[in-house]
Structure 1
Amino acid sequence: MHTVAVLALDGVLAFDLGTPLEVFGRTTVGGAPAYELVVAGPRRTVAAGPVSLSVPHGLDRLVVADTVVVPGRADPGVPPDPRAVRALQEAARRGARIASICVGALDLAAAGLLDGLRATTHWRAAAALATRFPAVDVDAGSLFVDNGQVLTSAGAAAGLDLCLHMIARDHGGAVAAEAARTAVVPLTREAGQAQYIRDDGLGSGGLTATLQWIEEHAAQPVTVADIARVSAVSARTLNRRFADEVGTTPSAWLTRSRVRLAQRLLETTDWSVERVAAASGLGSATNLRARFAAVVGTSPTRYRTALGTAPH
C-alpha cells in the first residue's frame, strides 16, 4: 500500500497537518483504503498552536515513505530541525514524492529540494521564499505547483487542492472526485491565489478588482478589450501585467472563470450540458467539453457523475 508520511515539527500548523490525514485517510479504491498514513518527526511531542500533539513515528518512517507531506509551521523563519532536513533529503534521493502545504515550502527550500524549480507558497510568504532562497522560481499566483517529484501548495486550503491532485495522479479523476465529495470541497479550483492578494498594483483598483470583475461577468460575451477598458489600461499593458502577476493571459483567465462557473452549474443544477454551456459563457456544448477537459481534466458528464449530481 502507498504510504503517506506527514512530517510533524515543533510549531506545526494543525490545519496543515490534518489536511493530508483527512483527505488521504478517507480515500478508498474498491472499498479498501488507498493509503497508509503515518505521522513522523524528530520529536515525540510537538506544539501545534494551543495544543500539543503526540508524534507516533520517528524520521525512519518518513525516509521510506512513498509520499512525504511537509505542513507549514507557525514561524517559518526559524530553520527546520536539521534531522528533518536530512530525512527529507534522503527521502528525495530514494525517489519519494515530496509535497509541501502553505509555508512548508520554506522547509523544502531549506533542504535544497526546490532549487531550480518553480514553487508556490502562501502569498504572504512568497517574498520571504524568494529572498531567502534565490535559486527557487517563486510563483505567488498558483494554488499549487507540480514538478513531478516535488510539489508545493499555497495557503492552507490549497493543501486540499494539492492532496486531491495527487490522488487524481495516483488513482484517476473519479477516485479524486469521490474524495472531494467526502471532504465536501470542490474537486478543482483553477482561480489561483492572486484573487486573495492585496495591493497587487494594477492601477487604483488593483488586479484583484479586475479578476473579480471577470468572475462576475464570465457568462457574458466579454472580450480582452472589455477587460482592458474596465481596468483603464491598454490591452498590451493588461497582457503584460497578467503575465507578471498571475502567470497567464486575460483570455486564459476568462476561460477558466467560465469553466469554474460551468462546474458550479454542474454541481448545483440538473441542466443539460448545452444549457450549462450557454449559461457559463462558453457558448456550445462542444466548446464546453473542450475547455472543461483542458482545465479540469475530465468531461462535464463524468465530472457531474463523479459528484453524484447527474440528472435523474
Structure 2
Amino acid sequence: MRRILVLLPLLLGACSSPYDSAHSYPQNPAISDARGQPRDSSTFYFPAADSLHPAYLPKSKRPSVVWNTDIRFANCAGALEGASYTLTYFEAPVLSNYYLGADIVRFLWERSFHRPVLLTLRHDAAGSTLHTQLLDKHPGFHTLTVLHPNSLPATASARRRAQAWKYYKETMADPQFQREVAEGKRRAAQVKAEETTVPVTPEQWEHLQELLAQTEFPKMCPCQPRPGKLDGAYWLLETHSASGYHQVARRSPEEQDGFRRACEYLIDLSSVKDEERY
C-alpha cells in the first residue's frame, strides 16, 4: 500500500531546462470557434501539456512512499480547470486555439479572499487598450447544511436529541443563515458598474514587452505547482500573437519575482491598481 506522508514542501526545480513556447494554434472546433467562443462551460482553455511540468512523475513511476507536498507528485490540471471555469464567467474567449487577429496579453487574478479580476490588454494597428473586469464572488456553488436530528444514531440520548432539535430549529430560523444559504446557491456575476477600458500608450506597451523579455516569459514553465499551499492568490498570464501562444501560472509569486512584476504592471495600468496584492 502506498503511504502518504506530510512534510514541508519540497519545491524542486520544476524547470531545469527552458520551456519550448512554440504553441501553434490547433484550430480545434471542439474547443472553440474561430472567434474564441468556448464550446461550453466545461471547455479547457489551455493546451493540455500545460498541466504538467518536467519534474512530474506519473503514478507508474512513483516510489512506494509518496510525500503529499513533493512537487514531483503534483500537477496543474485542477488549477487550470478552475481557471477555465472562471474565464467562462467573464465570457472570455479561448486564446490558445485560434489566432484572434490581435496581440493580447491577459491576466487572470484569483485571490482567495477577494473578487476575481481579469485584465485584457489588446494591441493592434489601431492602438492598445486595457479592459478590466471583476466578478462579485468566486464562481461555483456551496451548500450549507445543518445536521437533522433524525440523522442521530438510534443510541442517542433524549437529552442529545432535544439539544439537536433546538439547534436545528434556531439555525433554520436564523435570517443570517438563510442569507448565507442563498449566497451559496447564487451564480457569480460580472460587476458591470466597475468594468473599465483605458487606452495604453505605445511606450506602456513596449515597457510591458520589456518586462516579459526580462523574465524570459516564453521560456517559463506554464506549470509550477506549490503542493500544500491552499490560500493565497493564483496569478495566470497569457500572451497571444500571430507567432504563437504561451501561458504561465503561479501561486502567490514573490514580490521580487520578474513574472509578478510584469503582472503588476498591468494591475498598475488598470482600475484595480489599489486592490490588495498577495
After TM superposition, the score normalised by the length of structure 1 is: 0.20
Identify the structure with the greater strand proportion.
2
Larger Rg: 2
Identify the structure with the greater helix proportion.
1
After TM superposition, the score normalised by the length of structure 2 is: 0.22
Q: Which protein, 1 or 2, shows the higher relative CO under an 8 Å CA cutoff with sep ≥ 6?
A: 2
